[in-house]
A and B are shown apart, each in its own frame.
Chain A
């Protein structure tokens, strides 16, 4: 069962028709529908290409949030070996919205940390839809510290609507935890590379994505506020999210121009969820390439590289 997005409705109709024809043919052996079904398939494939050729920023947000999109767990399982999750912030709890632990990437030991949204109702609730609480950031801080001490590169996978806006999270210092996590990202003397695989939601994303190299998947987004949130504040109407998404310049392509993203990883036609394996493979290759770029830098040099990058950020706008 494919989960279609609202703008994919025409596609759903064509693919539905083709499926119907084939179902009828299965029941009635004398019917010859192959030519007709193939024509429909072709039409659907063409439509998919044209739909995804020029996605609007809001449609990109929808694709980035697609429930079937590969999530952090999928990447860890496919790209890493000997993944050994490490839990807890040693203060309060273990936050399941943040996965992290030791693993091998192309045989090299690394620390991998990421937001996990979950893929069905049960796991989504357990993962709190990828919205971390202070414990999640404090766990990440602990793991980054460990990586620093043992010289392990840190790989972060970002996919969060934002940090969790809850009572307990606030009481336990959500803002302090995010501030410290960003600070820790800037302090580790090991390579730190980050991939925005879905949604890069505001401060909750910055806390992991303050890296030497940041890559974004083609249809991922990274923004200071959700388009809905921005629309309700500036347009006083949450339904203006299309306009807000446009204005915020949150697409991978715009962020590449602004120097916030260093690379854009192409997705299969129709988005990452239409070919998970291909997407995951491309992400793996990009992580390897980004780590290779940093292989000459050691310790303090890596910290300097990161600092320089952020101090100089914003010198160029989109107008140029």
Chain B
């Protein structure tokens, strides 16, 4: 080989590869297909600026937009026993866990934090659908207990954002046992006279819906969220008929009396502040006086 191929080309390649090119500058809206610039989308909390479709959002991004100034502190969650059943399907459970931890950068499917929203102190917990479908296992159970204990200790309301396909099969019966386990946590909260507000996000199904996600004092859902016990496919297979349009969506549940409100993500913070301040006997929020959340504080993106 000669000088050009051995020396010059690798040098050129390395110069170019050093330049970081962000991969996902543009996101296509799942619903209307509009191409959305990443800054514009994240400033709008992953809600499509064109059609209002709610895309999934990580717990961290949600908390950043929710808490005053984007500031929150994480609540430690006790680590459960890893792979209690030594479960393996086509892949071993620890391998699936490692892959999920690597791709999300999170420990498991729930993040718990304390902080203030509109100068109202709260504890918040958010489920991460990108982590193995948000599935509820021992860790999520521990997270809910930690959140409830923290709320009781600090005498603060708990706001929980649910998103899950259901219980985590790889933990078998122990995942099912998180239904009574999380229910005990919620009872501790209620006995302490503290508000428990659930925000159901897309999708919330199975054992999660059938436990802590349906036991809120106030039940709010994001628009279009699928909320159910049995999924639409299972039902269609059982009853062998087509289900009506919008079946099991947030608006459908609201119509059937299963929810208090359906509120867009961008209006949620304000609404939570209003409700919590009333439930905890505080004076009305004075909006002009509030520090703006980080999402709004960021320099407005120019139309590109």
Q: Could you list which residues of chain A lie within 8 angstroms of chain B, going by C-beta atoms?
A: 163, 165-167, 169-176, 178-180, 182-183, 185-187, 202-203, 206-207, 210, 222-225, 230, 233-235, 243-244, 247-250, 255, 258, 260, 307, 310-311, 313-319
Contact = CB atoms under 8 A, between A and B. Distances in A.
Contact of A174 (B85, B90, B230, B257): B230
12 contacts: A166-B235, A169-B230, A170-B230, A178-B229, A203-B206, A206-B207, A210-B179, A223-B172, A223-B173, A310-B180, A310-B181, A316-B84
Contacts of A179: 179, 183, 209-215
Interface in B33-85: 80-81, 83-85
A315 B171 CA distance: 13
Nearest to A134: B229
A277 to B, nearest CB: 30
B211 A249 contact: no
A29 B154 CA distance: 89
B256 interface: yes
Given A183-B187, A202-B176, A206-B179, 18 more contacts: A165-B238, A170-B229, A180-B215, A185-B180, A203-B176, A224-B169, A224-B176, A234-B90, A243-B89, A244-B89, A249-B85, A250-B172, A310-B180, A310-B184, A311-B181, A314-B84, A314-B177, A317-B86
B234 interface: yes
A202 B235 CA distance: 16
Nearest to A313: B177
A244 B228 CA distance: 24
A175 B176 contact: no
A183 B171 CA distance: 22
Given A165-B234, A187-B187, A244-B89, A170 B248 contact: yes
Contact of B183 (A186, A255, A313): A186
Nearest 7 CB-CB pairs, A to B?
Answer: A317-B84, A165-B230, A175-B209, A175-B229, A234-B89, A178-B210, A224-B176
Interface of B: 80-81, 83-90, 138, 141, 145, 167, 169, 171-177, 179-181, 183-184, 186-187, 206-207, 209-215, 227-230, 234-235, 238-239, 243, 247-248, 256-258
B256 to A, nearest CB: 5
B179 A222 contact: no
Nearest to A163: B229
B211 A314 contact: no
B165 to A, nearest CB: 9
A313 B181 contact: yes
A134 B176 CA distance: 19
Nearest to B89: A234
Contacts of A234: 89-90, 169
A247 B85 CA distance: 8
B258 A173 contact: yes
B209 to A, nearest CB: 4
Nearest to A173: B258
The residue among B145, B186, B235 with the most chain A CB atoms within 10 A of its own CB is B235
Contacts of B183: 179, 182-183, 186, 210
Contacts of B84: 258, 314, 316-319
B207 A203 contact: yes
Contacts of A206: 176-177, 179-180, 207, 210
Contacts of A318: 84-86
